[in-house]
Amino acid sequence: MSLHGKSLIEGTPLPTSTKTFTAFDPRKGVSLEPNFHEANAADADVALNSAQAAFAAFRQKNSGERAIFLETIAAEIMALGDELLERAHQETGLLLDRLTGERGRTVGQLRLFAEVLREGSWCDVRIDTALPERTPLPRPDLRRILVPVGPVIVFGASNFPLAFSVAGGDTASALAAGCPVIVKGHPAHPGTSELVAGAVIKAAQSCGLPPGVFSLLQGSSHEIGTALVRHPKTRAVGFTGSHRGGRALLDAAAARPEPIPVFAEMGSLNPIFILPGALQERGAQIAEGLKNSITMGAGQFCTKPGLTFAIGGTDLEAFKSTIEPAIRSVAPGTMLHPGIRDAYVSSVNAALNTKGVNVLARSHAEADAGLTQGQAVLLDVSSDTFLAQPCLREEIFGPAGILVEARDMADLLQVAESLNGQLTASIHGTEADLDGAQELLYVLERKAGRLIINGFPTGVEVSPAMQHGGPYPATTDSRFTSVGTAAILRWVRPVCYQNFPAAALPPELRNENPLGLMRQINGKLGRESV
C-alpha cells in the first residue's frame, strides 16, 4: 500500500496546503518518503463541522452497533499486516517485537471497549421513581444516565505509535462513548498514522457510519493543534506528551469563550522508595529490576522510574556496587527522533551541571548522535541536594535515573512530601518495612494515581481496575484514567430526565430494562424492571 501523505477528512485524502514535512528514520538518520501535507485551520474547520454533523447519527447508534464498529477497526488494523509494523519500525526505531506487542494491545483495547459497550453498566443508570404522596412535597420521577459530549480531539503520542495514537486508547474510548474523533497525528510517525487512519475509515464505511465520525489531520506545527482545541465545535481533548505541550492545550481550552476539558497525561518521575529490610534482603534483585525499568525502550515510557530513594549505609553501598556495572552494561539505545534525543542530552547535562550531582554509572559505550542514540546514566545525590534543587524534580525523558540518599525514615518522608503529582509511586519493602511505612504510604497516596508494592511501574495493564493518571502535573485531571475501561468516563456527561413519558426515554432508562443493564433503582442495584 503506497502512502499519499495527506490528511483524511470525511474519508477523503485532502491536501489543502503546499507546505510539507517528512518522517525520519532515527536508526539511519535519513528522511522517509513521501512528503506529508501540513493541515491548517481550514482543514480543522471542515473536519469539525463534519464531526458535528455526524454526532447526531453516531450517538444514536446502539451499544451493539458501536461495539461492532470497534471490532471492525481492530480487524482492519490486523489486515494491514506487516506493512504497518515495518513502517512504524522505520519511523520510530522501535523493535518489531515491541511493535507487534503494541499492535496486540491496540486491537485488544478496541475489543475490550466493545465488551464494555455490550455489558452496558458504564452508562451508570440511576432511577428514582416518583413519590406523589410524599410530604411536604412529592418527588418527581428522576432518571439519570451518561451521554456523549460531542466531537473529541485526540493528539497522537510519540512513544506509542499504535497504542496511544490514531486508534489508541483515547480514540477507542471516545468512539465507544459515542463521540466522533479527530486525531492530530504525531509528526514523528505520519506514515503509521495514515495507515491506521485508513483502517478506521474503512471500518466506518463498512459499518455504514457517517464520514465525519473520524478524521486524521497531519501536521508538524503547533498551529493546527491550537486551531483544533479552540474550535467552537470541539467538546473535549485527549493528549499524551510533554508537560509543555499539555499545559499549552489546557490554557488554550480554558481561554475559550466556552471552556472545555483537556485530559492531558504529561509524564511523571514515578518515584521508587527502597526500605531498609528490602535493601538488605534483596538489594541485588532490586538493582537488576531497576536497571531494566530505567532503560527499557531507551527510557521512553511515561512510567519510567526517574527517582529512587533509599537510606544510606552499608546496604545502600552494596546496592550501588551492584547497579553500577548493570548500568554500564546497557548499550546506547535508539531514541524516537532527534528532537527527543537532543532534549534528553540537554536534560542530563543540566542535571550534571547542578551542584551536588554525581554520576554513579554510565553506559560503557558512547552514544552515536547520527543514529539518534541515548546513553544510559544513573546519577547520585544526597537528600539535601535533592530538596535544594527543584530542577532535579523535573522529568528526564530517556534512559536516566537519579538515586537519592536519605539519612533516615524521617528524611524519606520529607523528600516524599516535596514531590509533585505522579502517575505512579512504588515501595520495595519487607512485611516489617511495610508495617512501619504507613505514613509514607499516606503521603504517596496523595501524590500518585497508582501505588505499587515490590514491583516496578513500567507496564500499564489495560483493565477495568487500572488508573493511569495522577495529580497535576502528571495529568490535568486526576479523577480520570487514560488506560483501562474507566477511560470512557472522560467523554461523557450526566443528564437527568424528569417526568418523561416512557416512549420518550432512552432504552437504558425504560421501566422494562430492555438491555438487561445493571441499574441503581431507588438506591439499590439490580437488573429488575421498575
Give exposure, 317-355, as e/b (b: 16+ Cβ within 10 Å).
Answer: eebbebbbebbeebebbbbbbeebbeebbebbeebeeee
**Residue of 336, 333, 299, 302 whose CA lies nearest to 90:** 336
Contact assessment for residue 188 and residue 24, using Cβ atoms and an 8 Å cutoff: yes
Contact assessment for residue 173 and residue 487, using Cβ atoms and an 8 Å cutoff: yes
115 is catalytic: no
Contact assessment for residue 70 and residue 111, using Cβ atoms and an 8 Å cutoff: yes
Q: What angle do CA 24, 300, 369 make, to 5 degrees?
A: 50
Contact assessment for residue 459 and residue 105, using Cβ atoms and an 8 Å cutoff: no
Query: Per DSSP, what are the bridge partners of residue 498?
Result: 142
Q: Is 142 helix (H, G, I), strand (E, B) or coil?
A: strand
302 is catalytic: yes
Rounded to whole angstroms, the Cα distance separating 426 from 286 reads 12
For the chain, count helices (H), then strands (E): 15, 23
Q: Among residues 123, 179, 302, 405, which one is catalytic?
A: 302
156: Cα separation from own chain's centroid: 10
Sequential DSSP letters for 477-492: -TT--SSSGGGGGGGE
Q: What sign does the CA torsion over 387, 388, 394, 396 have?
A: negative
Q: Among residues 71, 265, 395, 508, which one is catalytic?
A: 265
Q: Residue 283 belongs to what H/E stretch?
A: helix 276-295
Find the farthest-apart pair of alpha carbons in the chain and give their distance in angstroms, rounded: 81
Rounded to whole angstroms, the Cα distance separating 94 from 116 reads 31
What is the amino acid identity at position 167? A
Q: Residue 359 belongs to what H/E stretch?
A: strand 358-362
- Kindly list the catalytic residues: 265, 302
